[in-house]
Amino acid sequence: MTGGRLIGSIIFPGVPAQVPIVRGYVRLLVAGCPRRDDAMLLVSELVTNAIRYTRSGAGDGVVTLTLLDLGHAMRYEVMDEGGAATRPEPSGAVPFYSENGRGLRLVDALADTWDTEPCGAGIRTWFELSRPVESRLVRGA
Ligand SMILES: Nc1ncnc2c1ncn2[C@@H]1O[C@H](COP(=O)(O)OP(=O)(O)OP(=O)(O)O)[C@@H](O)[C@H]1O
Ligand SMILES: [Mg+2]
C-alpha cells in the first residue's frame, strides 16, 4: 500500500462467486465518483486474474483489495498470493473472436495509470482513476 487516505480494504476467498460481491463493495464505496463503472469493471478483471492464475484461487487462497483516495484520483490495489507460471502482462493483438486476452488491455485503456509490483510472495496490481476532488466517497469529507 502506498500513501493516500484509506477508503476501504477487504480480504476475501479466491473463488469466482466473490467477484460480484467485490464489485458491489466498490460500487458502494465510490458511489459519488463519476468513474465508478470503470472502477467496478477493472477491479473485476484484476480479481478474476488473481483467482484464475495465482495461489489466491487455490484451496484457502485469498485476494486483498484496497481503495485509497489520492485526492485527485482513486487508487485500487489488488494483491494476489503469487505462485503463477506467468506475469500480469497485457496480450498483444487479440483475435476478434477470442474470449480471452482483454482484461489487462481494458486496464491499460481505461486507467490513468497502472502497474504491478512484487508484494510478499505475490503481486500487487494497481490502477488509478482520476476523480474530481469534490466527488463524494462513503467515508465522507
Ligand atoms: N495476477 C496475475 N499473476 C500472474 N499472471 C497473470 C496475472 N494476471 C494476468 N496474468 C497473465 O497475463 C495474461 C493477460 O491477462 P488478461 O487479464 O489481459 O487476459 P486473460 O485473463 O487471459 O483473458 P480475459 O481477462 O480477457 O478473460 C493472462 O493470460 C496471464 O497469463
Ligand atoms: Mg483476465
User: What is the set of domains in the chain, with CATH numbers?
Assistant: 5-130 (3.30.565.10)
Q: For residue 66, is pLDDT > 60? A: yes
**What are the residues whose beta carbons fall under 8 Å from the beta carbon of 65, sequence distance 6 or more?**
8, 9, 10, 12, 22, 25, 26, 43, 47, 76, 77, 78, 79
Distance 52 CA to ligand 1 centre (A): 8
Q: What are phi and psi of 84, to 5 degrees?
A: -80, 155
Residue 34 vs residue 46, higher pLDDT: 46
pLDDT tier, 79 (very low <50, low <70, confident <90, very high otherwise): very high
Atom of ligand 1 nearest to the CA of 94: 26
Range with the largest mean pLDDT of 1-5, 90-94, 131-135: 90-94
Residue 135 vs residue 111, higher pLDDT: 111
Q: pLDDT above 70 covers what percent of the chain?
A: 96
Distance 140 CA to ligand 2 centre (A): 33
Q: Is the CB of 56 under 6 A from ligand 1?
A: no
Confidence (pLDDT) at 2? 66
Distance 89 CA to ligand 1 centre (A): 7
Whose alpha carbon is nearest atom 20 of ligand 1? Answer: 101
pTM over 0.85: yes
Q: Is the CB of 49 under 6 A from ligand 1?
A: yes
Confidence (pLDDT) at 52? 97
pLDDT tier, 141 (very low <50, low <70, confident <90, very high otherwise): very low
